[in-house]
Structure 1
Amino acid sequence: MDTVVDPPDADGAERTVPEEHAAHLEQTLLQAQALIESTMSLYRRQPVTSLVAEPTDVAVLGSALDQLIGGVRHSLSVALTLAGDFTDGVLRLLARVEPSAAVRVLCSAEVADVSLAALRRLPQSRLEIRVVERELREIVVVDGVGALVRGISTEQGTQATVVNDAAAVRALELMFAGTWSRGRRLADHLELGPRLRTELARDILERLRTGHTDDVAARELNVSLRTYRRHVAEIMRELDANSRFQAGARAVELGLLTE
């Protein structure tokens, strides 16, 4: 196949179509990253707007959620971090969403375990649920045009901001999509034993993937060689893996390790 060559650059170098595409893709990703960072910086500098539910005003927050989720037509993306009133309220509203809408729920392991019954009661037609280990920012994004962001809890309470700016909503969608891609299906999460959900298990899996020797890994984790090997055997059994390589691949598949 012939290669199409663009006119030489100022320095005389020729750029091929694949190179141009790669450069364009890199620039797009950089712009997306800058957009996300600038949006989150805006939230940190201006946490309160005219559309903010006061930290202790549950009625205002509930009304904002009801208005957002009740108006969904095509798609709804939700990230839930902690079990509690906010999560319970969101899940109650999700149960009333029209089955024609595509719903993605991204939740922490705590929410998946504590609110499992409510998650299972949600309409299953176009619903996907994933679980992630990393820290989440609680958000609700509706149809790509509106969102609600719940802030960090303080002594005064937790602020929630309704977002209608198109660029800001798009940035939140990108953040959600990035975390969603690293999540594991709820069914896979429920198959994981408690041992695999610990920080120690993830530390061991990371060292198996990077090819650490048992001696080195045990020293880094400050455990005896015998204890380390016992943990490895238990983790491999939990993952139903016949080799350490397979254990690492299975861990990535389940979202215990990032790719």
Structure 2
Amino acid sequence: MTGAVIESSGAEGAEGAEELAPGAHAAHVEETLLQARALIESTVSLYRNRPSGGPDGTHTSVTALRETVAQLLVDARHSVCIALSSADEFSDTVKELLAEREPGPVVRLLCATAVADCSLARLSAAPGSRFEIRCSEGELRDAVVVDGARALVRAVPGNGGTQAIMVTDTAAVRALELLFAGTWSRCRRLDEHLALSPRLHSELTRRILERLRAGRTDDAAARELDVSLRTYRRHVAEIMRELGATSRFQAGARAVELGLIQN
């Protein structure tokens, strides 16, 4: 997915990226993603104030929304990127449509951990599956992006209703693809997420991992967490074992990679 998105931005941009040193290239990518996010937010604000109806209208009816997503999936010829931020009616609708979907382009689905469940695992594990699924601990915006040409963006999530906007502006859709690719590259696969021990998702584990990453001494970390030094060290040993880490630094890096703590 990442490669496809980079190619879609044009050969000139790819050549420019190759000329950058690794550090400069990373900074360039981060700046681009920030610009993409700003563009997306401004686009959503602009489209929210447009009149309803037509290809760029605002969809509020659950039935109309379902029909729109279904049509996008049917029309897809090259790529489908989907982001789901919460376990609600929108994500349920998308998952149902994906389960009913006829064979077509590979679908790359990026979901919040609250959305990740066995139904998605069945999709990705089915024979001849055309689904790639990853989980994110970070903030997502609900969206369905097809062929780099059209995108349905959830405009008002979590307010008890359903509102989404069809975006056809080329620059805005490409920005959505770029932001999706940047997030996708940092997230773990669904099977990795489902295989994680529940212990690794506890609040205490998160606080310990943050202190490991910050380089706190055992004494200081135990005092901050209000536990005995022996208890703290036992927890650290258990966490390292669960993560398959051979050092505390590696445990912190692995935790960031798996989305257990923010980078």
Q: Output the amino acid matched with 1:41.
A: S
The alignment yields a C-alpha RMSD, in angstroms, of: 3.0
| d(CA) in 2 for partners of 1:77, 1:40 | 18
Are 1:52 and 2:58 matched, yes or no?
Answer: yes
Are 1:235 and 2:239 matched, yes or no?
Answer: yes
- Alpha-carbon contact 1:70-1:93 (below 8 Å) kept: no
Look at both structures and tell me which one has the larger radius of gyration over its CA atoms: 1
Partner residue in 2 for 1:90 = 94
Name the TM-score, length of structure 1 as normaliser: 0.78
| d(CA) in 1 for partners of 2:214, 2:96 | 43
Highest RCO, 1 vs 2 (Cα 8 Å, sep ≥ 6): 2
SS in 2 for 1:110: coil
**By how many angstroms is 1:255 displaced?**
3.3
Partner residue in 2 for 1:121 = 123
SS in 2 for 1:136: coil
| d(CA) in 2 for partners of 1:152, 1:120 | 29
- Alpha-carbon contact 2:80-2:108 (below 8 Å) kept: yes
| d(CA) in 2 for partners of 1:70, 1:230 | 53
Are 1:185 and 2:186 matched, yes or no?
Answer: no
Q: Output the amino acid matched with 2:43.
A: L
Higher share in helix: 2
Equivalenced residue count is: 239
| d(CA) in 2 for partners of 1:18, 1:93 | 38
| d(CA) in 1 for partners of 2:17, 2:102 | 43
Q: Percent identity?
A: 54
Name the TM-score, length of structure 2 as normaliser: 0.77
Partner residue in 2 for 1:38 = 39
| d(CA) in 1 for partners of 2:249, 2:255 | 10
Structure 1: give runs of 5+ residues left out of the alignment.
1-16
| d(CA) in 1 for partners of 2:122, 2:28 | 41
- Structure 1 residues 102-111 or 228-237, which shifts more? 228-237
Match of 2:164 among 160, 165, 171: 160
| d(CA) in 1 for partners of 2:196, 2:18 | 43
**By how many angstroms is 1:75 displaced?**
0.8
**By how many angstroms is 1:135 displaced?**
2.4
